Structure 1
Amino acid sequence: MLLPQVEQSITDLSLFRNVVKLVGFAPFKSGLAALENINNISEGIVSEHLKLFLDSSSHEFTKDSILGVADPKLGASITETLNIKCDHLNAVPEIIRGIRYHFHHFVKGFTSEDSITAQKGLGHSYSRAKVKFNVNRVDNMIIQSITLLDQLDKDINTFSMRIREWYSYHFPELAKIVPENYMYARVAQVLQNRKELTDDKISALEEVVMDDAKAKMIVNAAKSSMGMDINVTDLMNVQQFAKRVIALVDYRKKMSRYLTSKMEGVAPNLASLIGDQVGARLIAHAGSLTNLAKVPASTVQILGAEKALFRALKSRGKANTPKYGLLFHSTFIGRAGTKNRGRIARFLANKCSIASRIDCFTETPLKVFGEKLRQQVEDRLVYFTTGKEPKKNVDVMREALEETAHMLATMEKEKKEKKKKRKSKVLENGQENGHIENGEAEVDTSLQKKKKKKKSKHVDE
């Protein structure tokens, strides 16, 4: 198959016609039918259209004949359902490639342009149909939000350093009194020119600092500061920049809240185990929650430490391999002793892989497993320090399964009760309307009876 003569025979139409001849062709009736069939092929399901086509072409098959199939899953399902031998190896891929290349020559009234447009349309519809996901469980938003949070942290730190240097020309003593970046920007926005302190500014400063002693220190330092005087235009620029830094910090708080809400919907067990930000970083580094679920625990342990790992592998044992990567940001690693950090990192990576798989493959993810896994890590920390034996994993998982089953049952009961309430409300409304209609009908019938009586009296008279 690697010979150039084979490739030439496939690309040359006259040579290829000697090898292949068209026996049967069944076009799809519509684009929807084509999409259904290609979805079935990708999942390895034999559709009714394919069954009919193979049955109609069965007179061409003999006992020794083999059906060439591009997809191995489809070939296996064809052999199971129709008892036809299928093959996807050897010469089959090259023959299928030649059929695709010369297909418009085999079918009358079908051009290469039609083939390209049909392939484009089917490819677009197939890719659109493949993107079947729950909007509430999209991990792409988590990846973007955690990367944005990291970028915001860097920007806030650099901007805070810039405003400290800029405002320190006018008031250098403020940096020691207010070490926090966000608080410093707010104080600089309130103080403005230190020589123009009024009672309103002092009261606003006390509200910002939330400490009377610190506010007095700032006021006293402002009165006896050794900083230079500041221009009006320079002060305006400093104030605008301080406002921008404060807005960035407020936006970062909103983004962190958004990340926690998204992690609760997408990966609640992973978030309850190691926290929202560390879990989101693991998902972002793996590429998606599905990729993280596929990765083994040994890889989860060193995610984020690839450079150190390859450096250690290049040195051939001279440097130690890394014990942890992104998991170092978890509180468990910091709380463990220096000797036990590698152990707890391995244990935590194991639990993270379990939590990610539960979050990825369950329809209604709950926090129960994450909380139980977190408790297991806590017990393992206690075991390393005191020697107290933790619970067995089998018992913990059994408890978690029982709790999840109970929670799911209660959720189903609540849904049923809500449906019953809705139905009862609808029935009550319908009965009220029915009573009104019946009342109107009774009134109408009574009026008709009176009219009939009057008519009968007139007739008698």
Structure 2
Amino acid sequence: MVTHILFESASGYAIFEVKLQDALGSSSKALQESIEDLGKFGKMVNLLSFSPFKSAAHALENANDISEGILNETLESLLELNLSKPNKKSKVVLGVWDPPLASAIKAALGFQCDTDETTKDLIRGIRLHAPKLLKGLQADDLTKAQLGLGHSYSRAKLKFNVNRIDNMIIQAISLLDQLDKDVNLFSMRIREWYGYHFPELVKIVPDNYQYAKAAQFIGAKETLNEEKLHDLAAILDDDMTRAQNVLDAAKGSMGSALNEIDMLNIMAFATRVVSIAEYRKSLMAYLSEKMNLVAPSLTALLGERIGARLISHAGSLTNLSKYPASTVQILGAEKALFRALKTKGNTPKYGLIYHSSFIGRAGPKHKGRISRFLANKCSIASRIDCYSGTLISVFS
């Protein structure tokens, strides 16, 4: 039967002596009624000692130790001071809430610890009536201490590691995918809009980025002449032939003339499309740098974009490393998998890793086998990147 109770609060440690132990053996309903009534519960437990924390930092240190099941020096000295060493005559049974902390106390001090439901009911009663049972505390002192310690504890748990910034990768790949959609949509819009003025340019310059830069450079087609030919060729990968074709097409274009305000709006939009496309290139370089820093083995195996998509879909590199190879293989094809299971059809052979060049080069009959083999290697590579002390890409 428990003889003492250890109560950990945001203000400090308290040790209660349990009286009327026979009452603990009564029915749970009677015990609950006694716990809710302060008059009855006050006769069941008696405050033996209360040791407040010295500061907020001291409280945070002890809270971290309790959460990890470590016996802090403050708690150890308090227990040694107030509880006698167990012997045949005086048997001390300490009631503790957390089993890991109870194991640490028993290993260090030799006290027998109890963590059963009766002990937890008593601790719940102490927590309920703590402002009345802990002497020297005001009614709102415990609430303020809990709020301050909660904020400090949460901030301390958010550990920052410069070598594992997979959140930056998740945001970057999400933004990159969105930019791809935006650039394609805006490029289509600038082609339609500028096509009213210079429709022949679309066939000569099919690339979206080059088209937007060419439209921005040309402006009104009437202003294009021989003097601008070299600058236009620089935009078109130094292709003088295509630049001459653009000049010839501008002279005989069937497009309609636009007034000044329309041309200004088209040029402003073309400038915006060019700036977004250039930012996409810089973001791709940033993603490549981060992937080589965080997951070099996975990057060497799959490339930056596919590796980043796997990390983003899993939630983190740690989550990805915990997945079995069979899950990595179909990651990204969950809907197809559940639909196949529901309809009893063929399950998918690959998910996001389908875009890998290894699967692309394989024949149709061998794609499933290659995807299974590649998923095994991805699982190994992600675990090396996540748990290896030195980040190198030679393993893949």
Asked whether the two chains share a fold, i.e. TM above 0.5, the reply is yes
Letter in 1 for 2:134: V
The 1:117–1:204 alpha-carbon spacing in structure 2 relative to 1, beyond 3 Å, is same
Paired position in structure 1 for 2:157: 130
1:330 aligns with 2:356: yes
Measured in 1, the distance between the counterparts of 2:360 and 2:114 equals: 56
Measured in 2, the distance between the counterparts of 1:95 and 1:364 equals: 50
Letter in 2 for 1:190: F
1:51 aligns with 2:76: yes
Conserved? CA contact 1:168–1:174, under 8 Å: yes
Task: Map 1:244-323; keep pairs closer than 5 Å.
Answer: 244-315=272-343, 317=344, 319-323=345-349
Conserved? CA contact 1:145–1:259, under 8 Å: yes
Paired position in structure 1 for 2:181: 154
Q: CA deviation at 1:6?
A: 6.5
Q: Given the alignment, which residue of 192, 198, 201 partners 1:174?
A: 201
Identical columns (%): 56
The 1:36–1:243 alpha-carbon spacing in structure 2 relative to 1, beyond 3 Å, is same
Measured in 1, the distance between the counterparts of 2:297 and 2:289 equals: 13
Task: Map 1:103-122; keep pairs closer than 5 Å.
Answer: 103-122=130-149
Conserved? CA contact 2:310–2:352, under 8 Å: yes
Name the SS for the 1:366 alignment partner. Answer: coil
Letter in 1 for 2:220: N
Q: Given the alignment, which residue of 362, 370, 376 partners 1:350?
A: 376
Q: Given the alignment, which residue of 85, 89, 104 partners 1:77?
A: 104
Q: CA deviation at 1:250?
A: 0.7
The 1:297–1:95 alpha-carbon spacing in structure 2 relative to 1, beyond 3 Å, is farther
Measured in 1, the distance between the counterparts of 2:287 and 2:331 equals: 21
Q: Given the alignment, which residue of 389, 393, 396 partners 1:363?
A: 389
Measured in 1, the distance between the counterparts of 2:183 and 2:44 equals: 69
Conserved? CA contact 2:176–2:283, under 8 Å: yes
Q: CA deviation at 1:4?
A: 7.7
5+ long unaligned stretches in structure 1: 374-461
Measured in 2, the distance between the counterparts of 1:6 and 1:312 equals: 54
Structure with the largest fraction of strand: 2
Conserved? CA contact 2:330–2:352, under 8 Å: yes
Conserved? CA contact 2:83–2:92, under 8 Å: no
Measured in 1, the distance between the counterparts of 2:348 and 2:151 equals: 44
Measured in 1, the distance between the counterparts of 2:309 and 2:282 equals: 18
Letter in 1 for 2:272: R
5+ long unaligned stretches in structure 2: 1-27
Paired position in structure 2 for 1:379: none
The 1:11–1:208 alpha-carbon spacing in structure 2 relative to 1, beyond 3 Å, is farther
Structure with the largest fraction of helix: 1
Measured in 2, the distance between the counterparts of 1:107 and 1:124 equals: 23
Conserved? CA contact 2:163–2:294, under 8 Å: yes
Deviations 1:297-337, CA, capped at 9 Å, x for gaps: 2222222222222222322x1x2222222212222221222
Q: Given the alignment, which residue of 216, 219, 222 partners 2:247?
A: 219
Letter in 2 for 1:108: K
Letter in 1 for 2:381: A
The 1:342–1:81 alpha-carbon spacing in structure 2 relative to 1, beyond 3 Å, is farther
Task: Map 1:8-19; keep pairs closer than 5 Å.
Answer: 10-19=35-44
Q: CA deviation at 1:361?
A: 2.0
Measured in 1, the distance between the counterparts of 2:278 and 2:33 equals: 66
Conserved? CA contact 2:86–2:110, under 8 Å: no
Name the SS for the 1:91 alignment partner. Answer: helix
TM-score (norm 2): 0.85
Conserved? CA contact 1:190–1:201, under 8 Å: no
Paired position in structure 1 for 2:64: 39
Q: CA deviation at 1:29?
A: 2.1
The 1:276–1:212 alpha-carbon spacing in structure 2 relative to 1, beyond 3 Å, is same
Conserved? CA contact 2:331–2:352, under 8 Å: yes
Conserved? CA contact 1:333–1:344, under 8 Å: yes
Instruction: Report which structure shows greater RCO (CA 8 Å, sep ≥6).
Output: 2
Name the SS for the 1:23 alignment partner. Answer: strand
Measured in 1, the distance between the counterparts of 2:29 and 2:353 equals: 52
The count of residues paired between Structure 1 and Structure 2 equals 366
Conserved? CA contact 2:94–2:114, under 8 Å: yes
Q: CA deviation at 1:217?
A: 1.8
Name the SS for the 2:385 alignment partner. Answer: helix
Deviations 1:17-52, CA, capped at 9 Å, x for gaps: 354443332222222222221222222221211211
Task: Map 1:178-217; keep pairs closer than 5 Å.
Answer: 178-209=205-236, 210-217=238-245
The 1:161–1:353 alpha-carbon spacing in structure 2 relative to 1, beyond 3 Å, is same
Name the SS for the 2:49 alignment partner. Answer: coil
